Amino acid sequence: MTKNKRILLIISGGIAAYKTLDLIRRMRECGYSVRAILTKAGAEFVTPLSVSSLTEDKVYGELFSLTDESEMGHIQLSRDADLLVVAPASADLIAKMANGLCNDLASTALLATDKPVMIVPAMNVRMWQHPATQANIKTLSARGVIQVGPAEGAMACGEFGMGRMSEPMEILEAVNRHFQIVSISKQHSDINKKALVTSGPTHEPIDPVRYIANRSSGRQGHAIAAALAARGIETTLVSGPTDLPDPKGVNVIRVESAEQMLSACNDQLPIDVAICAAAVADWRVKDAGSQKMKKETGGLPTLELVENPDILHAISSRKKQRPDLVVGFAAETENVVKNATAKRLRKGCDWILANDVSIGTGTFGGEKNAIHFITDDGCEDWPHMTKQAVAERLVDSIVSHFSVPGKDKNSEAAE
């Protein structure tokens, strides 16, 4: 998989640049060919000589170097690679990428490339949380740029929070996963399937200004939809309210409530695979007010709740137009595997991905997930990984499922 794969590593400024030396070494051990661009700020933290010694290649840095332009123009430099990795990706370089600015070799190469790009953000927690940075990240995500990290922890500036650069082994894993996806996509390019993914929370109205909801961010469902589309699978995403950008190449339907989500899912049938990753509210207010409820003296208002439709069970139990493969999620806070195993049987779905959403795990709203993959064959424990990596691993399993002859057991019912 790594044979003859070429990586253009772009090293921008930041104390985390020292990690790229270990990253280069590990990439080379895996068989990758690595060529590096070192920005002026990056050279304040690592030297061209150290980078060149590890890549065993020339290090590029000047946009208007006549020697470099005669040997390899900046456009050819970016297009000669199979993957561009920006590590660390500073707030400045991320902003340039998002806005199409190019005043140095690194930003020019990134604008001129037609190859996949992976960024590994690293910056102060305040810079990472700034609305401008978050808007730039969303812009790049919508363009299909792969993101690894950042992680949470102590920083060189003395602060603690999100913004630490991911460790070299995690970056290497993401690089390997990227090329694995490319390889699988080529092998199974003839798979012509339709997928439906639900994502995010639902908002169940109490009155025009209040609602019942949960802490789901929608990151996992959106990542799954993006991973399916990247494999050439026709994908529809039915999403509850989130701040996430629409995944590239995905038909997105936005809804608010559980009833709206179920209706939207039914409208998409027939499909081949359904992945119910949304955190649907279990209950709704029976009679939501048409006007804002006012505080009344003498006590609190009484809200009568009724059960919401069970979307996973509704799809799994269909006698007609049931998808060939139905995948659910089980968000549990105790006895995770036991409860999820019982849920799979109760709901009638084929696979279920169980995760622990207890306070402190960081699953709801976070960047990572720890999955127990439960099927007829038993339970497979996946390592703690990013939600993007979870999505790619799940899609690997889906592609493999449809690659086995005779798996389209419900094809006649879908006609």
Q: What are the beta bridge partners of residue 154?
A: 160
241 annotated ligand binder: no
292 annotated ligand binder: yes
Question: What are the start-end ranges of the H helices in 116-232?
Answer: 125-129, 131-142, 168-187, 219-230
CB proximity list for 370: less than 8 A, separation 6 or greater: 355, 356, 361, 363, 382, 383, 384, 385
Q: What is the pLDDT of residue 414?
A: 37
Instruction: Give the phi and the psi of residue 313 in degrees, each rounded to 5.
Output: -65, -40
368 annotated ligand binder: no
Structural contact between residues 82 and 45, judged by C-beta atoms closer than 8 angstroms: no
- Catalytic sites, residue numbers: 157
Structural contact between residues 181 and 223, judged by C-beta atoms closer than 8 angstroms: no
Q: What is the pLDDT of residue 355?
A: 84
Residue in the structure block whose two tokens are 């010694």: 53
**Per the omega criterion (within 30 degrees of 0), is the bond before 323 cis?**
no
Q: What is the pLDDT of residue 212?
A: 92
CB proximity list for 139: less than 8 A, separation 6 or greater: 98, 245
Could you tell me the CA-to-CA distances from 400 to 52, 238, 309 in Å, in that order? 41, 24, 31
Residue in the structure block whose two tokens are 């207890």: 358
Ranges in the chain, pLDDT < 50: 66, 70, 361, 363-364, 409-415
Q: Encode 241-263: b = buried (16+ Cβ within 10 Å), e = exposed.
A: bbebbbbeebebbebbbbebbbe
68 annotated ligand binder: no
343 annotated ligand binder: yes
Structural contact between residues 36 and 24, judged by C-beta atoms closer than 8 angstroms: yes
Q: What is the pLDDT of residue 407?
A: 54
347 annotated ligand binder: yes
Structure tokens at 394: 């799940």
Structural contact between residues 121 and 128, judged by C-beta atoms closer than 8 angstroms: yes
160 annotated ligand binder: no
- DSSP letter for 166, please: P
Domains of the chain: 6-181 (3.40.50.1950), 190-414 (3.40.50.10300)
Structural contact between residues 198 and 222, judged by C-beta atoms closer than 8 angstroms: no
With residue 153 as reference, give the H or E element that holds it.
strand 151-154
Structure tokens at 155: 């920083």
Q: How many helices (H) and strands (E) does the chain have?
A: 15, 22
Q: Encode 156-182: b = buried (16+ Cβ within 10 Å), e = exposed.
A: eeeeeebbbbbbbebbbbbbbbbbebb
Q: What is the pLDDT of residue 358?
A: 61
